[in-house]
Structure 1
Amino acid sequence: MGTRYCHLKLDERRKLAKWLEAKMPISEIADRLGRDPSTIYRDIKRNRYTDDELPELNGYHALVAQDKYEQRRAIHRKMIIHPDLKAAIEDRLKAGWSPEQIAGRMRLERHPVRVSHETIYRFAYSKDGREEQFYRHLPEHRRRRRPRGCRRHNRTHIFDVQSLSHRPERVSERLEFGHWECDLMMFRKEHGKVNVTSLVERVSRYAVVMRNEDRQSRPIMETLIQGLAPLPRGARQSITFDRGTEFSAWKHLKAGIGADAWFCDPQAPYQKGTVENTNNRLRRYLPRSTAPTALTNRYLRSICQRLNATPRKCLGYRTPAEVFESNLMEIKNRLE
């Protein structure tokens, strides 16, 4: 691997400006800074200040040099130089795409001008991006970048279930289509018991969201049966749950559509990470403050359509809908 070139920093430029004013030879300056002389010559040439009207001000000034360097090196420059590109990125963010999905789709579609997801984040949190409040379009609308925290899960356990440790390897490794993960999304207590079931197919990441009037297990299983019954048997082979009591009627699911049920270990909902990740995406449209009257079937379908039409990195930037339809066609062709 080649060595990484490290640009001069502000404190080095201050020393350089002071030593240049003292007429110190470039070779000595380079030696004192631990730099190659060519680096010093290059920085002086690139960042020297010139003024035709006031030539007496011409020279190398540390703050001016740093400002010119930052303007030239700004990682978000493409989104400033190409306003059409910025507008297209903004439209995709408003449609629910993440910066990584936008950047990946650009690579897949071979756009002549494209950016990385880091460029989008850097612009959103840059001075220009903050003035436009560009961060509001990001998935989590945060004013500042910060590391993601850990969620705590305090769920009641159920027993007499098939543990995830016994799930076939072909399912665990996502080698077989038709295996789902399921969870409930809850809302504020003052809004009552209404909740939604979030269901995700593990291979395609295809999402389905359905309304429930309460957390009773039998009606929730009925909703799952109604939602999955139209699919061919090969597309609804199993569902993975956590140990919440709302899934205690899992045997009814087996009797209804013949789907197996697998359960995470106690206090380990992260073992069904696909649906947990999908819930995070859904919260953009279904925050905890959502009123029950807003949870219409039409609205929930529109959210799913938007989510399933968003390209995913893990799918090679294809969309869940594209992968899901492709696998469905394979099953139907085998049945014919």
Structure 2
Amino acid sequence: MTTGRRKSQRSTRRKLCSPGRPPVWQRENLCRFWQEIAAGLSSEEAGIVAGVSAPVGNRWFRRSGGMPPTHLAPSAPQPKSRNLSFAEREEIALECARMTGVRAIARKLGRSPSTISREIRRNSATRGGDFDYRALTAQWHADRAARRPKVSKLARNRPLRDYVQDRLAGLVATPEGVAFDGPVVVWRKRRAVHRQSRRWSLAWSPEQIAQRLKVDFPEDPSMRISHEAIYQALYIQGRGALKRELSACLRSGRALRLPRERARNRGKSFIEDALMISDRPAEIGDRAVPGHWEGDLILGLGSSAIGTLVERTTRFTMLLHLPRMEDHGKAKSLKNGPALAGHGAEAVRDAIAGTIMELPAQLRRSLTWDQGAEMAQHARLRVDTGLDVYFCDPQSPWQRGSNENTNGLLRQYFPKGTDLSRHSADELSAVAHALNTRPRKTLGWQTPAEALDRLLKADMIDGVATTG
């Protein structure tokens, strides 16, 4: 007996517009993607591992602001077994195409017949007037029905939103209340570019805002929010509370959050077999014995660089010429290939070896450097020169105090924001000579060149006396 109604009208789902083409990925792909992001992979690499293209992985990462949705985070609970998986929906679609009965499908999948019947009735494609069950479309309907949209606290609490936004993006003002707009900056949906104008704002951190709310509104529990909720409102699209461009008011200026594991592994792939500064002998620390050096790079416009070497006892300075490669600015740099800017690991190793091997053996004892990628070939440098290479702790420039002070002096000749590649090797030699012939208070107003010459003569006299 027919009811005179189409099957689509008898389905339990309300009428929907066409969803378009269902996505080719599923929840499993998304979960795998964010697991790989948490492991430290880039968005492109994580997308390929998850079974999608690199551009799709990059799109997922940017759409979520660099942080996984709550239900897809690696720490989120796994879906319960009562939920049908995409693989089971594919099996149901195959059996439906073979005209297999509901109970037979249920026995094959180990499910209740009512589960299979309800799945076909709810998640079939019904626009053609029949229950046409396809796995992709069924998964799309199931994901849509499983959504539990919840309005964020900032979106529904206007006073709280105004307070957060004013402390984050409010205008800078004088004590008399005169506000300044600051430079006009166009938000480019990416991290603020180094050495360019930044948007002026009060720039309270989310943690400062969250804690200050307790002080300003001690009796109002509605004026409470966690700093993580503020970060999510800034970075995750679709939260509807704070504009994404307000992330430029954060001190980091990041438009996307940086995964913790990616930041932890950045620039440390070569540190496993390295000697740390804690392993350095005491004679290096007290500057009693010459021949121990500190090194670093000073950077300029367009990723140009000059290497610096400073002897700890005499403050004698040598500069490393690091010219750009011929293909710089013409060819695209290759991953794990040579650094076209001129200060890659091989270029720095060759420059240090070529410069320091001109010194006598007693002045080639050790080298202390920071944990920069330019020293990735430190083991080869140790073999070529006989130098013991030590590395400072992260974010600890005071452990190379002589070198940092010398770099400050060099900025008189090589200001920040200028192209350092335009200087020739002869010009660097002239600047180094100027520093080495300048009297220094720490040397009793001797010059570094005089102090080094005195030590070399003392070693020669000691050597002759020992031989005689």
TM-score scaled by structure 1? 0.51
Cα shift readout 1:7-43 (whole Å, capped 9, x = no counterpart): xxxxxxxxxxxxxxxxxxxxxxxxxxxxxxxxxxxxx
How many angstroms apart in 2 are the aligned matches of 1:258 and 1:331? Answer: 20
Alignment of 1:13-92 (within 5 A): none
Contact in 2 for aligned 1:218/1:252 (Cα 8 Å) = no
Cα shift readout 1:47-100 (whole Å, capped 9, x = no counterpart): xxxxxxxxxxxxxxxxxxxxxxxxxxxxxxxxxxxxxxxxxxxxxxxxxxxxxx
Amino acid at match of 1:169: A
Amino acid at match of 2:452: F
1:208 counterpart residue number? 318
2:361 counterpart residue number? 233
Shift of residue 293, structure 1, vs aligned partner: 5.3
Alignment of 1:170-209 (within 5 A): 170-189=283-302, 193-209=303-319
How many angstroms apart in 2 are the aligned matches of 1:318 and 1:274? Answer: 16
Residue of structure 2 aligned with 1:326, choices 454, 458, 461:
454
State the SS of the aligned residue for 1:290.
coil
1:106 counterpart residue number? none
How many angstroms apart in 1 are the aligned matches of 2:280 and 2:382? Answer: 16
1:7 counterpart residue number? none
Q: Which has the larger radius of gyration?
A: 2
Structure 1 alignment gaps of length 5 or more: 1-151
Contact in 2 for aligned 1:225/1:253 (Cα 8 Å) = yes
Query: Given the alignment of the two structures, is residue 159 of structure 1 paired with residue 300 of structure 2, yes or no?
Result: no
Residue of structure 1 aligned with 2:396, choices 240, 253, 268:
268
Cα shift readout 1:276-326 (whole Å, capped 9, x = no counterpart): 110000000011233345311111111111111111111111111110111
Contact in 1 for aligned 2:305/2:322 (Cα 8 Å) = yes
Contact in 1 for aligned 2:295/2:369 (Cα 8 Å) = yes
Alpha carbon RMSD of aligned pairs, Å?
1.9
Residue of structure 2 aligned with 1:252, choices 377, 380, 385:
380
Contact in 1 for aligned 2:277/2:392 (Cα 8 Å) = yes
1:39 counterpart residue number? none
Cα 1:292–1:268 shift into 2, 3 Å: closer
Structure number with higher helix proportion: 1
Query: Given the alignment of the two structures, is residue 217 of structure 1 paired with residue 328 of structure 2, yes or no?
Result: no
The more displaced of 211-220 and 319-328 is 211-220
How many angstroms apart in 2 are the aligned matches of 1:243 and 1:263? Answer: 6
Cα 1:279–1:303 shift into 2, 3 Å: same
Query: Given the alignment of the two structures, is residue 314 of structure 1 paired with residue 442 of structure 2, yes or no?
Result: yes
Shift of residue 332, structure 1, vs aligned partner: 3.4
State the SS of the aligned residue for 1:261.
strand
State the SS of the aligned residue for 1:215.
coil
Q: Tell me the number of residue pairs that the alignment of Structure 1 and Structure 2 aligns.
A: 181
State the SS of the aligned residue for 2:368.
strand
How many angstroms apart in 1 are the aligned matches of 2:304 and 2:455? Answer: 33
State the SS of the aligned residue for 1:278.
helix
How many angstroms apart in 1 are the aligned matches of 2:357 and 2:458? Answer: 18
TM-score scaled by structure 2? 0.37
Shift of residue 230, structure 1, vs aligned partner: 1.6
Amino acid at match of 2:362: G
Query: Given the alignment of the two structures, is residue 297 of structure 1 paired with residue 420 of structure 2, yes or no?
Result: no
How many angstroms apart in 2 are the aligned matches of 1:205 and 1:244? Answer: 22
Cα 1:179–1:246 shift into 2, 3 Å: same
Shift of residue 182, structure 1, vs aligned partner: 0.2
Alignment of 1:269-284 (within 5 A): 269-284=397-412
State the SS of the aligned residue for 1:185.
strand
How many angstroms apart in 2 are the aligned matches of 1:186 and 1:292? Answer: 7
Amino acid at match of 2:282: E
Structure 2 alignment gaps of length 5 or more: 1-251, 253-262, 324-341
Amino acid at match of 1:253: L
Cα 1:257–1:332 shift into 2, 3 Å: farther
How many angstroms apart in 2 are the aligned matches of 1:319 and 1:277? Answer: 16
Which gives a bigger RCO, structure 1 or 2 (Cα 8 Å, sep 6+)?
1
Cα 1:335–1:221 shift into 2, 3 Å: farther
4+ long deviations beyond 6 Å? none
Shift of residue 164, structure 1, vs aligned partner: 0.5
1:169 counterpart residue number? 282
State the SS of the aligned residue for 1:210.
strand
How many angstroms apart in 1 are the aligned matches of 2:463 and 2:363? Answer: 12
How many angstroms apart in 2 are the aligned matches of 1:296 and 1:278? Answer: 20
Question: Percent identity among equivalent residues?
Answer: 31
